[in-house]
Structure 1
Amino acid sequence: MAKIVALFGKEDFASAASERLKAAGYGISSDAASADIVVSYCETQQQIEDLYFGDEGFVSHLNKGVLLVDLSPASPNLARDISSVALVSGLNLVEAPLVVRDITLEQCFGRENLFCYVAGEEDVVAGARDFLDVLVSDAVATGGAGSAQLAKAAHTLQVAAQVISTVEANALYHAVHRFSAGEGVPDAMPAAFACGNEGLLKAVQEKRFTSDFTVELFLSEVSAALTTADDADLIVPQAESALHLLELLAIIGGSDLAVAALSLVFGEDDESRRAGLDWNRANEVYRSHDHGGEDADEAEYDDDDLDDYGDFFTFDYSSN
């Protein structure tokens, strides 16, 4: 009898994964209570907490023995909390934060473009490997609860640095070209100077701003990495800068754009408008935080507590 899988969270991923799972002989259900395997891939920490600990949460309503596979970015502390409660509830949890290899692809959730770090009880992880093999091309074991999220956070910090440095380097070429009226200076950075980030540079220069790997998703990954650092009393200024740039792009309407759209933050106003961005939104938000009025979304920010990355992790950009 085919095992039944229920997928929750990011719809683009669920759609792509469902096709692979059905081809591999699994059944798909929208009802977690009837599933043998429940997969979550959330974009905010609040979504994860609601799915697992809410009034209808997994840990209190699923049958004992169900396999839980969490692909979401989260802090190791949250991962350990979920693991502990799942164990007490008789559930089998695999912590498996997803990694997208090429974040510039329009449809980025193909199996070969994905891998995950994986942590949990050894026997549970071993039993989940065939299932994970349908979803991702590789599952890298890291150890006990929380270790996969730590590995994911370290990976995210490096990716964030690559993204920001590539976008800024290309913007520098463009700015100097304008400043010198184009006298022998190319308008964009040559691919040979991209330090291994040629794919992202090409996406920026070709203005490929559509991808299932959105600014909102990347923002959640960076937020999780910063929460991980904050929990360890570590300051990571480069990642904080990346978060604020992503946050700015989301505020002006870019939450559903590809990460390459960060280049628009450094671009011309006309180009930003063509991409559907509105800088007036940023003016309104930042004016409201100059100790003025706040609306419901803006209240998520806390100017007196900017190192509390939970503020960013739960910010609602959906109206953009």
Structure 2
Amino acid sequence: MKEKQLSIGFIGTGIMGKSMVSHLLKAKYKVYIYNRSKEKALELIEKGAGWCNTPREVAENADLIITMVGYPHDVEEVYFSSEGLLSHAKKNAILIDMTTSTPTLAEKIYHSAKDKGLKALDAPVSGGDIGAKNGTLTIMVGGDQEVFEEVTPIFSCFGHNVVYQGKAGAGQHTKMCNQIAIATNMIGVSEALVYAKKAGLNPENVLKSISAGAAGSFSLSNLAPRMLINDYSPGFFIKHFIKDMGIALAEAEKINLQLPGLELAKKIYDQLAENGEENSGTQAIIKYWE
């Protein structure tokens, strides 16, 4: 079957999902969408996406279904409820969960799908709203390699760095590595800017120097400028980052690994959430020092 003949389902048209669906529509795929709030999907419907009232309706229409929802319990509901994907997907359909979720749940979906004659991948992403809009997301994939190769053309619509990581759950484990690296990096970025201000430097000029040097990172180049103009709009919600850090810490505990840097970052973000910043972007971490 040629990829362009595939009908694609997409569940979760939030900040990132909205842009990802837009790229699929530009590539001339037929896309069926579902979101808890239809209002947030109206722009995509106007662009040609087919609206579905339930995940079941998506499953009955699509050959390949992508999910990008908030939390593991949302993933569980979308896949395992009586009206969920596993009960109503077409035979040989491909299910791809791109939510950042737990490796254990990814393995559960994989085995349940296989028992029903379905295929499943876990494929969390990194790159935030910027990567989603630009179609440059990093995608980390777990599952059967032949299924990964089959859907690579789909991933290429919104991702540039698409890497097969291994068996089911490997994509989610890789995303935990990503989030661990970001968590402590966000502390470093914030402390560098606070230091620059306290030392009487021009923070914009400081960024010009250090962003291009050994300290360079996505956060320094893309989120630090937002910090300087007090732009805390979410490219990635603090509440979702806290969820991810919690998953990573739980997985680390299972393998008897201590992650003091991650523990500190979660403590800071927990405090920000308690102060009402849970729906701000992760760059709002700088408010901890202010």
**Counterpart residue number, 1:28:** 31
Deviates more, 1:239-248 or 1:151-160: 239-248
Mapped partners of 1:130, 1:164: distance in 2? 36
Q: Give the structure with higher Rg (CA).
A: 1
1:249 aligns to 2:272 (yes or no): yes
CA distances 1:18-62 after superposition (whole Å, capped 9, x unpaired): 221112121122332211111111221111111112232222222
Q: How does 1:135-154 map to 2 (within 5 A)?
A: 135-154=158-177
Q: CA deviation at 1:173?
A: 4.3
Q: What value does the CA root-mean-square deviation take over the aligned residues? A: 2.2
Mapped partners of 2:140, 2:67: distance in 1? 15
Relative distance call for 1:204 and 1:221 in structure 2 (3 A) is: same
**Counterpart residue number, 1:128:** 151
**Counterpart residue number, 2:96:** 69
1:73–1:224: 8 Å Cα contact kept in structure 2?
no
Deviates more, 1:196-205 or 1:148-157: 196-205
Pick from 233, 244, 261: which aligns with 1:238? Answer: 261
1:98 aligns to 2:113 (yes or no): no
Q: How does 1:86-235 map to 2 (within 5 A)?
A: 86-100=113-127, 103=128, 107-174=130-197, 176=198, 185-186=200-201, 188=203, 190-191=206-207, 192-193=209-210, 195-197=215-217, 198-199=220-221, 200-235=223-258
Where in structure 2 are there 5+ consecutive unaligned residues? 33-51
Deviates more, 1:26-35 or 1:64-73: 26-35
**Percent identity over the alignment?**
21
CA distances 1:283-308 after superposition (whole Å, capped 9, x unpaired): xxxxxxxxxxxxxxxxxxxxxxxxxx
**Counterpart residue number, 1:41:** 68
Mapped partners of 1:162, 1:60: distance in 2? 41
2:137–2:161: 8 Å Cα contact kept in structure 1?
yes
Q: CA deviation at 1:155?
A: 1.5
**Counterpart residue number, 1:14:** 17
Normalising by structure 1, we get a TM-score of 0.73
1:58 aligns to 2:85 (yes or no): yes
Q: Secondary structure at the match of 2:236?
A: coil
Q: CA deviation at 1:188?
A: 4.7
CA distances 1:208-262 after superposition (whole Å, capped 9, x unpaired): 2123322233223323322321232322121122122222222322222221111
Counterpart amino acid of 2:11? F
1:207–1:260: 8 Å Cα contact kept in structure 2?
no
Q: CA deviation at 1:110?
A: 2.1
Q: Secondary structure at the match of 2:11?
A: strand
Counterpart amino acid of 1:196? G
Mapped partners of 1:10, 1:218: distance in 2? 18
Q: CA deviation at 1:93?
A: 0.7
Mapped partners of 1:152, 1:46: distance in 2? 18
Mapped partners of 2:76, 2:254: distance in 1? 18
1:111–1:134: 8 Å Cα contact kept in structure 2?
no
Relative distance call for 1:193 and 1:37 in structure 2 (3 A) is: same
Counterpart amino acid of 1:76? P
Relative distance call for 1:50 and 1:68 in structure 2 (3 A) is: same
Aligned length: 255
Q: CA deviation at 1:82?
A: 1.4
**Counterpart residue number, 1:311:** none
Q: Secondary structure at the match of 1:110?
A: helix
Relative distance call for 1:217 and 1:152 in structure 2 (3 A) is: same
Q: Secondary structure at the match of 2:132?
A: coil
Mapped partners of 2:109, 2:147: distance in 1? 15
Give 1 or 2: higher helix fraction.
2
Where in structure 1 are there 5+ consecutive unaligned residues? 178-184, 268-320
1:108–1:211: 8 Å Cα contact kept in structure 2?
no
Mapped partners of 1:141, 1:80: distance in 2? 16
Mapped partners of 2:160, 2:262: distance in 1? 28
Stretches (4+) displaced over 4 A = none
